[in-house]
Amino acid sequence: MQAAALHINLDAGDPVSDKTAAHPWTARQIVLIACATCATYLGASMGSAFSLVMPRIASDLQASGSQVQWIISGFLLARIGCLRPAGMLCDRLGARAIFLVGMAGYAASSLACAWADDAALLIALRIAQGAFAALLSPSALLLLRLGVPPAKQPFVMSIWSAAGVAGFGLSPVLGGAMVNAWGWHSLLVFTAAATALTGVVAFAQGPDATAAANASRQPSKLPVLHELIVSIVLVALAFFVGQKDAVAVLLVVGAAAAMLAALVMFTRGGRQLGAEDLQLALRILAPFCAGMFGFAAIAAAMLWAAYFIQTDLHHSALVFGLACLPMAVVGIAASFGTGSLVAANRSNLAFLLAAAAVLGLALSAFGAEAGQSTGLAALVLACAGACYGFSNASATAGIIASFPAGQSGDASALGTLSKQYGQLIGITVVASTRDLTGKTAGVGHGLFYFLAACALVLVLCAGIGAMRGRREPTPLPAAR
Three-state SS across the chain? CCCCECCCCCCCCCCCHHHHHCCCCEHHHHHHHHHHHHHHHHHHHHHHHHHHHHHHHHHHCCCCHHHHHHHHHHHHHHHHHHHHHHHHHHHHHCHHHHHHHHHHHHHHHHHHHHCCCCHHHHHHHHHHHHHHHHHHHHHHHHHHHHHCCHHHHHHHHHHHHHHHHHHHHCHHHHHHHHHHHHCCHHHHHHHHHHHHHHHHHHHHHCCCHHHHHHHCCCCCCCCHHHHHHHHHHHHHHHHHHCCHHHCCHHHHHHHHHHHHHHHHHHHCCCCCCCHHHHHHHHHHHHHHHHHHHHHHHHHHHHHHHHHHHHHHCCCCHHHHHHHCHHHHHHHHHHHHHHHHHHHCCCHHHHHHHHHHHHHHHHHHHHHHHHHCCHHHHHHHHHHHHHHHHHHHHHHHHHHHHCCCHHHHHHHHHHHHHHHHHHHHHHHHHHHHHCCCCCCCCCCCCHHHHHHHHHHHHHHHHHHHHHHHHHHCCCCCCCCC
Distance CA 434, CA 443 (A): 5
Contact call for residues 6 and 30 (beta carbons, < 8 A): yes
pLDDT score at 474: 40
> pLDDT at position 176, please?
74
For residue 178, the one-letter residue type is M
First vs last Cα of the chain: how many Å apart?
Answer: 23
CATH code that applies to domain 26-471: 1.20.1250.20
Comparing CA positions, the residue from 198, 213, 157, 173 lying closest to residue 317 is 173
- Asked whether the beta carbons of 208 and 3 are under 8 A apart, the reply is yes
pLDDT of residue 475: 40
- Longest Cα–Cα distance in the chain: 61
Degrees, nearest 5: CA angle 244-250-253: 90
d(Cα 328, Cα 474) in Å, to the nearest integer? 32
d(CA 185, CA 113): 8
pLDDT of residue 226: 53
CA angle (15, 37, 18) in 5-degree steps: 15
Question: Mean pLDDT for each 10-residue chunk of the chain (480 residues)?
Answer: 34 40 68 80 70 76 79 80 78 82 90 87 89 83 75 76 72 76 83 87 65 46 51 57 50 54 49 56 80 91 89 86 86 82 78 94 94 93 91 82 66 75 82 78 85 92 74 39
Determine the Cα–Cα distance for residues 143 and 155; give it in Å rounded to an integer: 15
Please, which residues have CB within 8 angstroms of residue 419's CB and are 6 or more apart in sequence?
A: 291, 292, 294, 295, 392, 395
Whether the CA torsion 2, 3, 9, 14 is positive or negative: it is positive
CA-only gyration radius of the chain, Å:
21
Q: Are 458 and 358 in contact (CB under 8 A)?
A: yes
pTM for the whole thing? 0.69
One-letter identity of residue 337 = G
pLDDT at 469: 57
